[in-house]
Amino acid sequence: MTTDHRIERIETTIGRHVRRDISRLVSFARGQLGRAAAAVATTDAPHIGIVVGFFIRHANPPSPETDGLNGMAHLAVGFSAAGFRVTVITDTPCAKAVWAVVDALPFRVDLEVVDVSETAVRRLRGYLERAEKPLTHLIAIERVAPGSDGKPHREHGWDMSRETAPLHLLFDEPGWRRPWATIGIGDGGNEIGMGVLPVEIVREDIPNGPLIAAQTATDHLIVAGVSNWGAYGLLASVAVLRPDLAPKLLTHFDRESERAYLAAAVDVGQAIDDSRVDQPGRLQMSVDRIPVEEHGDLIETIRELTSTTPAAGSAALHPERI
């Protein structure tokens, strides 16, 4: 397969819907995975910032959800192995879980934690702008953005402003000229990056869409059935575009690492899954109600698609089997 064809296959694989029909969101974002990957792959000595953490106040225990954490982990490890500098960014409610995953990585990455205030986020933004090695790209994975009322919301419409730092201000704010390229990764319409979508798509296709539809846009938007999958697709697509770096980018992109990162998130960081209106989230080895083994299967599928000649009849060509 050609480079473009492989990335298209990866985009199709990560874009299947899981809990809701996101087909119109996926269709609008079609082609942006390749453009986002090219923005990273064509930059000399990139410094990648990764914003992550989605806190669930009513969970048992109150904790961030598992989605986003493994996506951050695979991007951080792959980019670090390829020689890129990586800085992970989160807020205090999510700090324990994010730190637990960062601590489990085989490479050291910088971790920045801010409290839940505009002052703290603006201070961090100034620090990142003045850094000796400033960011070249900023990626948000499963990070909530303000909706139509200016507040961040869960898919159920619950206000998250008390437990969510306004890290969307690192991506966009009227009158501020940001110095880095931005990528948003999400699966539900309320995340950073979804502001580029035509508003009627989220309003009509997503429960509570008129309220929760994200207002924050990014240069590139990756829509996936599970936000982690969008990060996996981005890493793999960069590897497709940079075959010279592919062995390093993908050296830890496997099911064993997937399990290790999720175990750190759950066992040490107390990240939760399966949080709904009728039941609090709980500690378990799953993401978006999908067991870790199935996420490992998807990683193997994506890895196969990065190669020039996928094996005939492999699951890589049949993402519906995953």
Averaged pLDDT for residues 8-37: 94
CA angle 26, 37, 145 (to 5 degrees): 55
**Banded model confidence at residue 319, pLDDT cuts 50, 70, 90:** very low
At residue 311, does pLDDT exceed 60? Answer: no
The full set of domains in the chain, from first to last, is 3-307 (3.90.1640.20)
**β-pair type (181-186, 290-291):** unpaired
pLDDT at 280: 62
pLDDT in tens, 67-84: 999 999 999 999 999 999
Torsion angle of C-alpha atoms 100, 102, 105, 108, degrees rounded to 10: -140
At residue 148, does pLDDT exceed 50? Answer: yes
Distance CA 43, CA 253 (A): 22
pTM: 0.94
Average pLDDT of the chain to the nearest whole number: 93
pLDDT in tens, 253-290: 999 999 999 999 999 999 999 655 556 667 889 999 99
At residue 318, does pLDDT exceed 70? Answer: no
pLDDT in tens, 207-223: 899 999 999 999 999 99
- Per-residue buried b or exposed e for 281-297, using 16+ beta carbons within 10 Å of the residue's own CB: bebbbbbbebebeebbb
pLDDT in tens, 225-258: 999 999 999 999 999 999 999 999 999 999 999 9
**Banded model confidence at residue 313, pLDDT cuts 50, 70, 90:** very low
At residue 312, does pLDDT exceed 50? Answer: no
